[in-house]
Amino acid sequence: MNSKQVIMTATIIGTTAGSCVPLLWNASFLSLWSIFFTAIGGFVGIYIGYKMTV
């Protein structure tokens, strides 16, 4: 896999995991918390994917 694929895969996993975090405390799937944690998960996924390729 090239670096773009690794970063994109990590970003998808991060956004998916981040969007599931608010569901642990029974928040709505379309709440502001879900959007916030989705963004945080995406940034973490990009960071991890970048670190894996460097």
What does the pLDDT look like over 13-25, one tens digit per residue?
A: 999 999 888 888 8
What does the pLDDT look like over 31-48, one tens digit per residue?
A: 788 889 999 999 999 999
- Rounded to whole angstroms, the Cα distance separating 40 from 43 reads 5
- Rounded to whole angstroms, the Cα distance separating 49 from 54 reads 9
- Rounded to whole angstroms, the Cα distance separating 13 from 11 reads 5
- Among left, alpha and beta (phi > 0; psi -120 to 50; other), residue 2 is beta
Residue 31 has a CB neighbour count (10 Å cut-off) of: 12
For residue 17, the enclosing domain spans: 3-53
Assigned token pair, 46: 């990009």
Question: Structurally, how many domains does the chain consist of?
Answer: 1
